[in-house]
Amino acid sequence: MEDKFMQQKIKKILIVILILFVVLTVIAYSVKRGHNFIEKKNVYDNNCSVNNGIATININGYITGYILRAKDGSEPKDEVSSDEVVACINKIAKNNTAKGLILRIDSGGGSPEASEEITNAVKGLNKPTVAVIREAGNSGAYLIASAANRIFASELSTVGSIGVTNSYLDNSQKDIQDGLTFNQLSVGQFKDTQNPDKPLTEDEKTLLMRDVNIMYQVFIQKVADNRKLDVEKVKQLADGSTMLGAQAKADGLIDEIGDINSARAWLKSKIK
């Protein structure tokens, strides 16, 4: 009698184990399908998504190399980092469901190096790309836009600002008025260059303008190459000013007047 009871108990245990196994298998399968579904949609974050075969990245605010997040995990709302944008482009490059990329641009520019990093990543993406300039696509933001296969902008968008600045505020006269003294303790003639609490010497200004001019020439050449424009024509436009969309189209800085819907339609015609 006892043996029969034990057999029944073991049988019940085995049934429970079998049921648990089936349930866990179903859960694992569902999780895997959900994971694959997410990967198929490829929603990495709010600024890097793929829907219906079209990837979208926002280039909003100041362009920087990286964003230093606060301790609570928050980040500035008006900055975009090349670290995150390039990582997103690399993911899009490997995603077979992503057939093309839209860059939604609303930025006055930022770091030359960060802008160049994003530009190179866009050019290296072996998929059709289109840039949509919303309120502004200026300076480094325009450099990024120029790397796209097609650029759309509103008639009211500001475009261009091809130029380089390294200007800063000199506080030295105010310091004197406030009774403050700058004590220079540095080794190397140019170590304290652009310290806001000391006047800029002529030698320091010459050194800084040397680098600004180099960056300026690089900027012009990249825009000319990306937009297939004559370098001399870009030089004429590269006075640091912006222009509205219609003038930018006439000068070859953009291709069409349009918005995000125009860009999607163009991209869909390319990726079929």
Give all strands (DSSP E) within the chain, no chain letters: 48-51, 54-60, 62-64, 79-81, 100-107, 129-138, 150-153, 158-160, 242-244, 256-257
Q: How many CB atoms lie within 10 A of CB 263?
A: 25
pLDDT tens sequence across 182-201: 999 999 999 999 999 999 99
181: helix, coil or strand? coil
- Residues pairing with 28 in the sheet: none
The structure's pTM equals 0.80
The confidence score (pLDDT) of residue 271 equals: 85
The confidence score (pLDDT) of residue 39 equals: 41
Given a cut of 70, whether residue 128 has pLDDT beyond it is yes
C-alpha distances (whole Å) from 258 to each of 59, 97, 106, 263 are 18, 26, 14, 7
CA-to-CA distance for 154 and 65, rounded, in angstroms? Answer: 28
Which residue in this structure is represented by tokens 């990726």?
Answer: 271
**198: which 2 tokens?**
């000391």
The confidence score (pLDDT) of residue 50 equals: 86
Given a cut of 90, whether residue 72 has pLDDT beyond it is no
Q: How many CB atoms lie within 10 A of CB 72?
A: 6
CA-to-CA distance for 142 and 136, rounded, in angstroms? Answer: 9
